[in-house]
A and B are shown apart, each in its own frame.
Chain A
């Protein structure tokens, strides 16, 4: 097969797809106070990040009771909310992260989990 320019670009694109994303995923979890619901949400978020992003993530947990200004800046209405700030577009997952289907749709990681059971 001759190495035509179009072939090269196609290959480069496929390589890029196969490679793991190098940028870190930026996540923020807004919780309200040290409640059971908050604790569960934090644990689930950490677990999710470890399994899905394997260290390529930043997870910031914010207690809106402590920092109400951040709740305003982040346009938070419901708690707990997990916001994916990066990569774009912004996604907001509201709830205690127990419904996994919604969770994966929200974070665009559904395809990966189906490939690796």
Chain B
């Protein structure tokens, strides 16, 4: 693709384009077919040449106000009307309103005899008359090569064809000429018409790969203009052709800062507390039976309950089956379906090719205008195409959804035995968030766990969570991470129980010890009080002894003084009651 700046510079001088109105083709050709010039559309039988040409005319007449002439060399007017009616084009009305003129050119080889020189002036006159009668701007010649079968002289024919294309250019009409693909692969058309139509050549192709047919369109040549050179898948749907360009979409979609909840509060908590970004693409991978659809259904219910239109593409289960199954875990989807907030679209992946699936999805999205889209599972779809096709398809789907700011949740089935992350290599880089569901086997049971592998632009938990499904819904609980690794399910319960028992035992032990200590303390206290009474007893005894001694002393003194008085001793003797003064008085 051309950067916008140089694009604008070219715009003034570039070739005038004639928009085809065919979905996607105008993007590839950057505006349409070369205006006023013939374009050759070639391809094998049944690849959609006539429908391409018919749509070019019908769109021109209805959308761009350019009447057109359809000159058919193979089908009659009635056949043509019937054939394009299947694409929803009402040719009869357009013909009546003089927007389109159908002209059948019948050439019967067995009626014709050549008797000399001739030219195709008859054809020119008819074409000219047809163009002038409705003021046509577009002309289709389908298939000119019938002339080669009908008219014997090829030399004259070639000269006349060259003149015809020159004449069409001079006439200023945008022409589409269809031609049968040559038998050799290097030959674009069976009769070498590409020699004359040199402005634009589009090749249509219908290939079968692994029993799945895909139509491809390629702009082989576009003189004087830039164009996508790749082979683009296209399909013929109910509303005409649509070409699905893989590479025309750039990485320039707007982003939103709004966050939306997942419907599982603990999961929101793991995603920075607020859930996913609006408009992001989320991948949910897991082995069979890990609960991918359940998380998807939770997400869908949460979105629909917020009043956001949610489209659920299911490639495994029918809508009723999903509603019933989700009912068993407490999700009520049916009222949301009735309120037209939630819509299911179920299809078998093998029903048709990848491109058709993609187109159907685009159509559903365009009709329902959802804010949230769920694809469950994307891997089923991938089986209906080759790896590169699938990746291309997912890229286009994601781009398409991102451009519309639609939040998308893809579930992806990982087969047992494969590395959990390897199979998603093709897709994971396109995704903004990636949740991994896994089951742990052990202790005779399988338990689901969930990780957030990546979540662009938000702080997210690195923790493993056990994912529980009960009839009340889903819940995430912390997995037990202990010395023996991650424990889930009954092992986690057992571990919790044994921990509880250990705690209890510890508490009991502590209580016992506490009681022991208490009694010991009591014993000590008793001891202390014994000692104290003993101490008191001793003190009492001590006091008594003191008292006794005092009494004795007094008695003794009294006795002695009495004795002295009785013996009529001197004063010094009477005052010598104090022992220390006695020697002093003696020395004095």
Within 8 A of B (CB), among A24-75: 30, 32-33, 37, 64-65, 68-69, 71-72, 75
Q: Which of these binds chain A: B8-16, B111-119, B359-367?
A: B111-119
Q: In the complex, what residue of chain A is closest to B103 when comparing beta carbons?
A: A72
Q: How far is the CA of A69 from the CA of B130 in the complex (A)?
A: 9
Q: How far is the CA of A79 from the CA of B103 in the complex (A)?
A: 18
In contact, B117 and A95 (Cβ under 8 angstroms): yes
- Specify which chain A residues have a CB less than 8 angstroms from the CB of B114 in the assembled complex: 93-95, 99, 102
In contact, A77 and B105 (Cβ under 8 angstroms): yes
Q: A68-B125, A71-B125, A75-B106 are in contact. List 20 more A-B contacts (CB 8 A).
A: A32-B122, A37-B117, A37-B119, A65-B125, A76-B125, A77-B122, A77-B151, A79-B120, A79-B122, A81-B122, A82-B115, A91-B113, A94-B112, A94-B113, A96-B116, A98-B116, A99-B116, A100-B115, A102-B115, A102-B116
In contact, B128 and A68 (Cβ under 8 angstroms): yes
In contact, A78 and B151 (Cβ under 8 angstroms): yes
A90 touches B (CB below 8 Å): yes
Total contacting residues, chain B, CB less than 8 A: 26
Within 8 A of A (CB), among B99-134: 103, 105-108, 111-123, 125-126, 128-130
Q: Mark B396-425, 1 if CB is under 8 A from A, else 0.
A: 000000000000000000000000000000
- Specify which chain B residues have a CB less than 8 angstroms from the CB of A64 in the assembled complex: 121-122, 125-126
Q: How far is the CB of B156 from chain A (nearest CB, A)?
A: 8
B147 touches A (CB below 8 Å): yes
In contact, A89 and B103 (Cβ under 8 angstroms): no
Q: How far is the CA of A30 from the CA of B118 in the complex (A)?
A: 11
Q: How far is the CB of B121 from chain A (nearest CB, A)?
A: 4
Across chains A and B, which 6 residue pairs bring their CB atoms closest together, nearest first? A95-B116, A32-B121, A68-B129, A106-B113, A76-B122, A98-B116
Q: How far is the CB of B151 from chain A (nearest CB, A)?
A: 7
State which of B116, B121, B129 has its C-beta within 8 Å of the C-beta of A97. Answer: B116
Q: List 26 A-B contacts (CB under 8 A).
A: A32-B121, A32-B122, A32-B125, A37-B117, A69-B129, A71-B122, A72-B103, A76-B122, A76-B123, A77-B123, A77-B150, A79-B119, A79-B122, A80-B118, A81-B118, A90-B111, A92-B108, A92-B113, A94-B112, A95-B114, A95-B115, A95-B116, A96-B115, A99-B115, A102-B114, A103-B115
Q: Known contacts A91-B113, A92-B111, A97-B115: does B126 contact A68 (CB below 8 Å)?
A: yes
Within 8 A of A (CB), among B243-276: none
Q: How far is the CB of B423 from chain A (nearest CB, A)?
A: 60
Which of A69, A77, A98, A100 has most B Cβ within 10 Å? A77
Which of B103, B114, B120, B125 has most A Cβ within 10 Å? B125
A105 touches B (CB below 8 Å): yes
Within 8 A of A (CB), among B150-164: 150-151
- Specify which chain B residues have a CB less than 8 angstroms from the CB of A69 in the assembled complex: 129
Within 8 A of A (CB), among B372-409: none
Interface residues on A, range: 20 to 34
- Specify which chain A residues have a CB less than 8 angstroms from the CB of B123 in the assembled complex: 76-78
Q: How far is the CA of A72 from the CA of B112 in the complex (A)?
A: 17
Q: Mark B54-76, 1 if CB is under 8 A from A, else 0.
A: 00000000000000000000000
In contact, B113 and A79 (Cβ under 8 angstroms): no
Q: How far is the CA of A37 from the CA of B121 in the complex (A)?
A: 12
In contact, A77 and B119 (Cβ under 8 angstroms): no
Q: In the complex, what residue of chain B is closest to A76 when comparing beta carbons?
A: B122
- Specify which chain B residues have a CB less than 8 angstroms from the CB of A92 in the assembled complex: 108, 111-113
Q: How far is the CB of A78 from chain B (nearest CB, A)?
A: 4
- Specify which chain A residues have a CB less than 8 angstroms from the CB of B103 in the assembled complex: 72
Q: Known contacts A68-B128, A68-B129, A77-B151: does B116 contact A32 (CB below 8 Å)?
A: no
- Specify which chain A residues have a CB less than 8 angstroms from the CB of B105 in the assembled complex: 75, 77
Q: How far is the CB of B162 from chain A (nearest CB, A)?
A: 16
Q: How far is the CA of A32 from the CA of B121 in the complex (A)?
A: 6
Q: Known contacts A68-B129, A72-B103, A72-B129: does B122 contact A78 (CB below 8 Å)?
A: yes
- Specify which chain A residues have a CB less than 8 angstroms from the CB of B128 in the assembled complex: 68
Q: How far is the CB of A42 from chain B (nearest CB, A)?
A: 13
Q: How far is the CB of A3 from chain B (nearest CB, A)?
A: 42
- Specify which chain A residues have a CB less than 8 angstroms from the CB of B147 in the assembled complex: 77
Q: In the complex, what residue of chain A is closest to B113 when comparing beta carbons?
A: A106
Q: In the complex, what residue of chain A is closest to B73 when comparing beta carbons?
A: A77
Q: Known contacts A65-B125, A68-B128: does B119 contact A32 (CB below 8 Å)?
A: yes
In contact, B121 and A79 (Cβ under 8 angstroms): yes
- Specify which chain B residues have a CB less than 8 angstroms from the CB of A77 in the assembled complex: 105, 107, 120, 122-123, 147, 150-151
In contact, B118 and A94 (Cβ under 8 angstroms): yes
Q: Mark A4-29, 1 if CB is under 8 A from B, else 0.
A: 00000000000000000000000000
Q: How far is the CB of A98 from chain B (nearest CB, A)?
A: 4
Q: How far is the CB of B253 from chain A (nearest CB, A)?
A: 53
Q: How far is the CA of A37 from the CA of B118 in the complex (A)?
A: 8
In contact, B118 and A96 (Cβ under 8 angstroms): yes
- Specify which chain A residues have a CB less than 8 angstroms from the CB of B118 in the assembled complex: 78-81, 94-96
Q: How far is the CB of B366 from chain A (nearest CB, A)?
A: 42
Q: How far is the CA of A76 from the CA of B114 in the complex (A)?
A: 14
- Specify which chain A residues have a CB less than 8 angstroms from the CB of B122 in the assembled complex: 30, 32, 64, 71, 76-79, 81
Q: How far is the CA of A77 from the CA of B144 in the complex (A)?
A: 12
Which of B118, B122, B128, B150 has most A Cβ within 10 Å? B122
- Specify which chain A residues have a CB less than 8 angstroms from the CB of B126 in the assembled complex: 64, 68, 71-72, 76
Q: In the complex, what residue of chain B is closest to A82 when comparing beta carbons?
A: B115
Q: How far is the CA of A77 from the CA of B160 in the complex (A)?
A: 11
- Specify which chain B residues have a CB less than 8 angstroms from the CB of A99 in the assembled complex: 114-116
